[in-house]
Structure 1
Amino acid sequence: MAFTITDFHDLVRLLEQHEEWRKELRRLLLTDELLNLPNAVREFRKHVDRRFAELAKAQRRTEESLAAHRAETDRRFAELAEAQRRTEESLQRLSEAFAAHRQEFMEHRQEFLEHRREFMEYRAETERRFAELAEAQRRTEETLRQVLLRQEQFQRTLDRFGQTVGVTVEGQMVEAVQRYLAERGYALLEPIASLAIDRIGELDGIARVRGPDGEETWLLISVKARLGPHAVHDFVDLLHHAAVQEALRAYGVRGPVLPLIFGVVLDRRALELARKARVGLLLQAQGELVAPQPWTLEASGGSEDP
C-alpha cells in the first residue's frame, strides 16, 4: 500500500503526541556522531576555555617576572621609574581584559610585545652602560695601582733619605753633645750609643756621665732634624713607657737621668713645652736653649709631672 501525504501528516501528528516515538525516530535517522555532536561541542568549548586559562596564567607569570626585573632596574636607575610604571599599568590592563575578549587580548598582546621590545632595547642600553662603568672602574683601578706604585717608590726613596739624614744628624749630635758636656764640666764615662727597645723603638743616645760635683748620672738623648712640639711630646711619652723604663733598668740605668733633645731646626712652640716637661733642648748651631732637669725613672714619669 502506497504511503500518502495524509499518512505522513498523520505520522507527524502522532510523533508530536508521543515524545518517546520522536526519540526512537531520531535514533534511527541520526548517526552516533551527530547525536554526540552537542557533547563534542561542549568538550571543545571546555578545551578552548582551559587553553585560554593556561595562556592567561603563562601571561601572568611573564608579567610577574618582567615586573620583578623592572623593579630591580628602577632601583639602579631612578630616572626610568615613570616609564616602568606606565609599562606595568599597561600590562595589568592587558591581563584584566584578556578574559573578556580574545580580540582585545590580541591587541593588548601586541602592545605588550612593543613594550617588551622597548624593554630589550632598554636592557641592551643598561648592559652597555654597565660595560662602560666596568671599563671606567678598570681604568680607575689601574690609575690607583700606578699611584700606589709611585707612592711606594717615593716612600722607599724617602726612607733612604731619612736614613741618610738620620745618620748624619746623629753624627752631628755626638760631636755637639761632647762639646756641650765638656763646656759644663761633665765627663763622659762611656761612649754615646743608641739603645734599641723591642717593639717600642729606640733611644737615639744614652751615656753615663759624671757631673762637676762628682755625681754620676745618665744622659738620655733624642735626635730630631726638626725640633717641634711633637718631638717633645713623643720623647716624654717614650720615657714614660713602662717597657722603656724596664729596658733602661735592665741596661743598668740607676738614679736620676737627664733627658735631652738634639735638633737642627727649631719650632719655637717647643721651647715652653720643653721647660714644662723639664727636658733639655740643644740645637746644632745655637747650643743649649733649655737646660735639662733631673728625672727619676718611675712608672709615673719624671721627678715632676710634665
Structure 2
Amino acid sequence: MALTAEDLRDLVALLQAHPEWRKVLWALLASEEVLRMPTELADLRDELAQLRAETERRFTELAEAVRRLSEAFVNHRQEFLAHQAQVNARLEELSTAVRNLTETVHHLTETVHHLSEIVGNLAQTQLGLAEAQRRTEENLQRLAEAFAAHRQEFLEFRAETDRRFAELAEAQRRHYEEFAAYRVETDRRFAELAEALRILTERVDRVERRQEDHSRDLGQLKSMRLEALYTEKPAALFRPLLRRAIVVPDVRKMEILEEAEAAGRITEEEVDRAAPLDALVEGFHRREDRRVVLAVEISWQGTTKDVARAAERAAIFARALEAEVIPVVAAKELTAPARRMARARGVWWLQDGRAFAPQEIPEEGPGEDEVETPT
C-alpha cells in the first residue's frame, strides 16, 4: 500500500509524542557516512588543536635555543674584546720600554763619544777613563741583556696572543656551524608542519564540502515534499486565502501562457520566465465573493529570489489572464531580506496554515539568504 500524506502526518505525530524514536529513525534513514561525520569532525578538531600546541611548543624551543646562542656569542665577543684590550695595553707597555731603551742607548753612545774625546785630550787620565769605559761597557751589557729579556717576553706574549686568537676563531667557527645546522633542522621541521597543516586543511575542507552537499540535498528534498503537499491538498493548505482552491494543471498553465503570447499580451521570453511557476491556484476570496488567482512559489526556506520570482511571474500571469493575480510565497520560513522585499513588493507569505499580508509580515527572521532551493 502506498504511503499517503495522512500516514506521514501520523508518523510525525508519533515522533513528536516519542522523541526517543527519532534517533532510531535517523539511524535507518541516514547513511553511515553522515552518521560518522560528527565524530570525524571532532577528531579533526582535536588533531588540529594538538598540532597547534605542538607547533607553539616547537616555536618556544627554537626561541630559547636562539636566545642561548645569542648569549653565548655575546659572552665570547665580550671576552675577546677584553683580551684584545689587555693585549693592546701590553703592546703599548712594550713599545714604551723599547722606546726608552733606544733613547738610553742613544744617550750612552753620545756619552761614550764625549768620553772618547776627553780621553784623546787628557792622556794623563787614561786609567780613569779606562775604568769609566769598563763601567760603561758593563752598563751597556746589562742594558742589552735587559733588552733581550724584554724582547723574548714580547715574543712569548705575542705567541700566546696568536694562540688565543686562533682558539677564539675556532670557537666562533664551531658556533656558526652549530647554528647553521640547527637552522637547517628548524627549516625542515617548519616544512613538515606546513605540509601537515596543508593536509589537515584539505581534509577539513572536504568534510565541510560534504556537509554543504548534504545540507543542500536535504533542503531540496524538503522543498520538493512541501511542493507536493501544497499541490496534493490545495483546498486545505490554501484555505487561509481561498475557498474551494484548486491547482491549475501544468498543461492548462502552459495553454494560458501560449494563448496570451499569441494574442500579444506577453512575449516569448516572458512565457519562458513564467512557465516554471510552482503553482497557479484558483479559488474564491475568503472575505469577498469573487474569484481570485494566486501565483505561488513554494520553498522550504523562502529567500529574496523566491519573492522576486513570485512577484515577476504573478505580473506576467496577470497580463496573460487579464485579471488580478496575487503573488504568494509558501514557505516554512522567510529570511529577513526576503521579508523586507515581500513587504516592499506586495507579496503574501503562506506559512503552515497562516497567511500574512505584505504589511503584516514580521520583521524577525534569519539574517541572511541561505542556499537557494531549485524551483
Bin of the TM-score, shorter chain as denominator length:
0.3 to 0.5
Q: Normalized per residue, which structure has more strand?
A: 1
